[in-house]
Every structure is written in C-alpha cells, then in structure tokens.
C-alpha cells in the first residue's frame, strides 16, 4: 500500500485556500478523522429543521462549447444551477497553460457575476493536448501526463474548484498490459499528484466507468479499492448514475454503502441524454430520497453526452426534472 508523503515544498505550503476550499478540504477523508458540517454554499441556503440545506446543482459545460464563457455561465445561472463543472479541453487549443492568470481571474469574476461558482473539472485528460495516458507502461508518456495533470490542478485551484473528476476512459485503458498492472500505474500516478492537489484544496475523485468504455475501474468497489491503495486524503471517489451498468445493486443501496466516500454525484438519464427525456423522473426518486436522508450537501452535477438539443434546453429541461424529483421526496 502506498503511504502518504510529506506536505511538499515550502512554497506550496503557502498556497492560500479560499473559504470554500478550506471547508471542502476539512470534510470527510479516507482513513482519518473528519470535520463534518455544511459546505460554504449551505450558508447561502435555508437550513431545514433537520439540519440539511437542500441539494446544490451544477452543470457540465461541454454541451455549450461553441459559446463564449460568459454565455455558458449565464445559461447555467439563469436555469437555476449554482455551479459549473468544466471540461478544460473545451476552452483550449493545446492545453490549460494557454489560459493566463489574468484570464483565470476574469473567469472567476464571470461566474461570480451570474451567481455560480466552479464545481470542479472533469474529462481531465481528453484531447487537447494529445498523447496523454495515465496508466501506460511507457514511463515517458506517464511523466508527461502527470506533468499536465499538475497544470490542471493549478487551473482548478485558480478557479476555486474543489474537485477533479477522473473519468477519461481512453487515457486509463490497459495498453498491452494486464488490468491489474494498469491499476498499479493508476495508483502510482495518482499518488504523484495527490500532495499538489491537497495543497490547492482539491480532491481528485476516481469515477467508476462501465466496461463499455474502459477496462480499468468499473465499479464503486474497485474505485474505493484504488483510493485506499493510494492512501491519500486528496484521492476519493464519486457516483455517476449512468456509470452503474456493471453494478449489481440498486442506486439507493450503492449510495448508502459508499456514502462516506462519495464526494460528488453526476446525474443524467441512463444512456446519457439530458433529464426529462427518459424515466429518471421516477427511477431516481429513491436514490434522491437516500441522498436527502443522508443530508448530502455536496454537488449534484448534470453531465450529458447528447448535445444536439443545445445547452439552454438541456439546462432548463433538466432543472425542471430535478425539481420534479425533489417534489416527490418525503
């Protein structure tokens, strides 16, 4: 088992965390005592007598990649979401190094102006840049990928994002090696970036993905096993409704079973279309009831894969469906 390293260089120790990142970082961690409580955004919402302040919704931005950052944020804010989850590849030609410190501050200002915040990053290693792979036996490629991952950590931190969702199926597939060997490289590469993530107040969340898209980490059990192998508080797991195809238990059972380790939720219709186009309005009620009963206070983020309806329609119809689901909860 990998063990946690020291806290890094003196310079990195001095990296300041804003209020939200401090509270997020103080939350539950694997293998250690946790400070419970509400996230920053809970202070902006009404707290019920039970001590729960309601769901907080975000939306992923890639369905609006053709629009300006201002337009993307405006659509998300107007539809009632409080966060935007960013696929960095939609914003760059070669890599996040292109986005200057000044531009990053401008992006934060745009979010603030429309009443939303950064919920984190996802599709971390999707091209551009090309040629990245996290579990390849090619040490030079892994080193290049880890170096870019460090760039992503700083980009996420500069936008005050608390989470980095590690899906990226093509960049973690086993390449001419066994799945177990790929998992070993996965753990080593995560460990290589974990201290940096922690210093920026960020958690890297391993996303289980179906065997239809990757052969490495297909279930919550495998994701948790990998996180425990890394053994670092900055490496945790998340839950995605659409990516439970290889699970053998229903949503609500999975959520209760892994709840203390889940730091983020992706939602969409099964199959990847936006909410309201399928049966989620009924099928997800028990899962949302479980999250409510457990006082889940982190992000529920809309991630879809069919962009053809357009970002505004996706945002508005999905939010209506989320509210319909909420209306059925006890």
CB neighbour burial string for 190-220, b if at least 16 within 10 angstroms, e if fewer: bbbbbbbbbbbbbbbbbbbbbeeebebbbbb
Region 29-56: what's the mean pLDDT?
Answer: 54
Give the closest residue to 303 by CA, choosing from 255, 242, 212, 236.
242
* pTM of the model as a whole: 0.86
| HSE of 270, CA atoms in CB hemisphere, 13 A | 11
What is residue 234's three-state secondary structure?
A: coil
CA triplet 133, 31, 233: central angle to 5 degrees? 45
CA triplet 330, 115, 50: central angle to 5 degrees? 25
Higher pLDDT, 18 or 44: 44
Name residues whose C-beta falls within 8 Å of residue 265's C-beta, 6 or more positions apart in sequence: 238, 239, 240, 241, 291, 296, 298, 299, 300, 301
The alpha helices in 139-213, defined as continuous H runs, are 139-158, 179-199
Beta bridge partners of 1: none
Evaluated on CA atoms 145, 224, 261, 1, the torsion sign reads: negative
Cα separations in angstroms, 295 against 131, 142, 220, 289:
41, 39, 20, 10
* Strands 235-240, 203-206: pairing kind: parallel
pLDDT in tens, 79-102: 999 999 999 999 999 999 999 999
Task: Kindly calculate the radius of gyration of the chain based on its CA atoms and give it in whole angstroms.
Answer: 19
Q: Return d(Cα 291, Cα 302) in angstroms, integer.
A: 16
The alpha helices in 124-178, defined as continuous H runs, are 139-158
Report yes or no: 135 and 179 within 8 Å, Cβ to Cβ.
Answer: no
pLDDT at residue 35 is higher than 80: no
Residue 197 is encoded by which pair of tokens? Answer: 């993530």
pLDDT tier at 47, thresholds 50, 70, 90: low
What is residue 59's three-state secondary structure?
A: strand
Region 276-287: what's the mean pLDDT?
Answer: 98
| Own/partner long-range contacts of 172-180 (Cβ < 8 Å, ≥24 apart) | 172/125, 172/133, 172/134, 172/135, 172/214, 172/216, 172/217, 173/135, 173/214, 173/215, 173/216, 174/135, 174/215, 174/216, 175/133, 175/135, 175/136, 175/137, 176/137, 177/137, 179/215, 179/216
> According to the model, what pLDDT value does residue 52 have?
75
Higher pLDDT, 33 or 58: 58
Q: Residue 139: is it exposed, middle or buried by C-beta count within 10 angstroms (0-12/13-18/19+)?
A: exposed
* Strands 235-240, 262-267: pairing kind: parallel
pLDDT in tens, 107-126: 999 999 999 999 999 999 99
Give the DSSP H/E element, type plus range, for residue 119. Answer: strand 117-122
pLDDT tier at 53, thresholds 50, 70, 90: confident
Report yes or no: 10 and 198 within 8 Å, Cβ to Cβ.
Answer: no
Structural domains in the chain, sorted by start? 35-327 (3.20.20.150)
What's the whole-number average pLDDT of the chain? 89
> According to the model, what pLDDT value does residue 48 have?
63
For the chain, percent of residues with pLDDT exceeding 90: 84
């Amino acid at each position: 088992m990998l063990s946690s390293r020291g806290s890094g260089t003196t310079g990195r120790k001095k990296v300041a965390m804003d209020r939200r990142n401090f509270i997020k970082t103080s939350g539950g961690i694997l293998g250690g005592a946790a400070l419970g409580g509400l996230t920053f955004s809970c202070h902006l919402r009404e707290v019920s007598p039970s001590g729960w302040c309601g769901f907080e919704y975000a939306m992923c931005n890639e369905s609006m990649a053709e629009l300006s950052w201002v337009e993307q944020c405006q659509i998300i804010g107007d539809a009632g979401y409080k966060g935007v989850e960013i696929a960095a590849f939609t914003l760059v030609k070669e890599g996040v190094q292109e986005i200057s410190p000044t531009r990053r501050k401008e992006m934060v200002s745009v979010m603030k102006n429309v009443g939303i915040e950064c919920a984190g990053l996802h599709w971390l290693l999707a091209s551009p840049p090309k040629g990245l792979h996290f579990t390849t036996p090619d040490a030079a490629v892994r080193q290049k990928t880890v170096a870019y991952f460090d760039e992503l950590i700083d980009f996420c931190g500069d936008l005050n994002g608390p989470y980095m969702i590690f899906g990226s199926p093509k960049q973690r597939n086993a390449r001419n090696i066994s799945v177990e060997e790929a998992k070993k490289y996965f753990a080593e590469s995560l460990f290589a970036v974990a201290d940096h993530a922690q210093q920026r107040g960020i958690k890297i969340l391993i996303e289980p993905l179906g065997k239809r898209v990757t052969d490495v980490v297909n279930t919550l059990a495998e994701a948790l096993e990998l996180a425990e192998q890394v053994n670092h508080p900055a490496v945790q797991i998340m839950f995605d409704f659409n990516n439970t195809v290889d699970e053998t238990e229903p949503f609500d059972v999975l959520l209760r079973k892994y709840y203390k380790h889940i730091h983020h939720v992706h939602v969409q219709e099964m199959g990847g279309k936006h909410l309201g186009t399928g049966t989620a309005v009924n099928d997800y009620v028990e899962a949302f009831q479980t999250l409510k009963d457990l006082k889940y206070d982190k992000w529920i983020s809309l991630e879809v894969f069919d962009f053809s309806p357009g970002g505004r329609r996706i945002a508005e119809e999905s939010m209506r469906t989320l509210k319909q689901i909420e209306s059925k909860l006890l």
